[in-house]
Structure 1
Amino acid sequence: MSRKEVQGPIRDKEKSKLRFLNAVGKIIKSKGYQGLQVTKIATVAGLDKKLIYRYFGSVDNLVNEYLKSKDYWSKISDVELTEIDLTDGGKGISKLLLGYQFEYLKKSKELQKILLWELSEPKSLLRKLADERESLGEEMFVKITDKHFMKNSKNYRAVMAILISSTYYLNMHAEVNGSYFCGLDFKNEDDRSLVQKTLEDLVDCAFEKYE
Structure 2
Amino acid sequence: MEENKEKPSYRRNRTETTQRILKALEEVLTEYGIGGVGINRVADRAGVSKVLVYRYFGGIEGLLARYIETAGFFPPDTEAKVEPMRPTTGQEKAWVCSRQVALMYRQLRMSAPGQELIRATLLGDEPLAAVSSRTQDELLTKMVEQLPFERRIDLQAISAVVLGGMSYLLLLSRNQRSMLGIDPGTEQGWARIEEALKTIYNGVYRVPVSRKQSQSIFIDS
- Return the match for 2:110 from 85, 107, 110: 107
Distance 2:19 2:110 in 1: 21
Q: Tell me the equivalent position of 2:187.
A: 189
Give a deviation string over 1:27-57, Cα, whole Å, max 9, x none: 1111112222221111111122221122223
Q: Tell me the equivalent position of 2:170.
A: 171
- Name the structure with the higher helix share: 1
2:205 counterpart letter in structure 1: F
Distance 2:136 2:202 in 1: 27
Give a deviation string over 1:64-118, Cα, whole Å, max 9, x none: 1012123633434497334434212532221211221231221122122112222
Q: Tell me the equivalent position of 2:82.
A: 81
Equivalent runs, 1:48-63 vs 2, <5 Å: 48-63=49-64
1:199 counterpart letter in structure 2: L
- How many residues in Structure 1 have an aligned counterpart in Structure 2? 196
2:116 counterpart letter in structure 1: K
Structure number with greater CO (CA < 8 Å, separation at least 6) is 2
- Return the match for 1:145 from 114, 139, 149: 149
- Distance apart, 1:203 and its partner CA: 1.3
Higher alpha-carbon deviation: 37-46 or 185-194 = 185-194
Distance 2:201 2:137 in 1: 24
Relative to structure 1, is the Cα distance of residues 81 and 138 closer, same or farther in structure 2, using a 3 angstrom cutoff? closer
Distance 1:164 1:197 in 2: 15
TM-score (norm 2): 0.75
Distance 1:174 1:29 in 2: 17
Equivalent runs, 1:21-60 vs 2, <5 Å: 21-60=22-61
Relative to structure 1, is the Cα distance of residues 127 and 93 closer, same or farther in structure 2, using a 3 angstrom cutoff? same
Whether the aligned pair in 1 keeps the contact of 2:75 and 2:104 (CA below 8 Å) is no
Distance 1:159 1:59 in 2: 33
> Quick check: 1:93 aligned with 2:96?
yes
Whether the aligned pair in 1 keeps the contact of 2:144 and 2:159 (CA below 8 Å) is no
Q: Tell me the equivalent position of 2:132.
A: 126
Q: Tell me the equivalent position of 1:136.
A: 142
Q: Tell me the equivalent position of 1:3.
A: none
Distance 1:35 1:65 in 2: 18
Distance 1:13 1:52 in 2: 11
Whether the aligned pair in 2 keeps the contact of 1:105 and 1:111 (CA below 8 Å) is yes
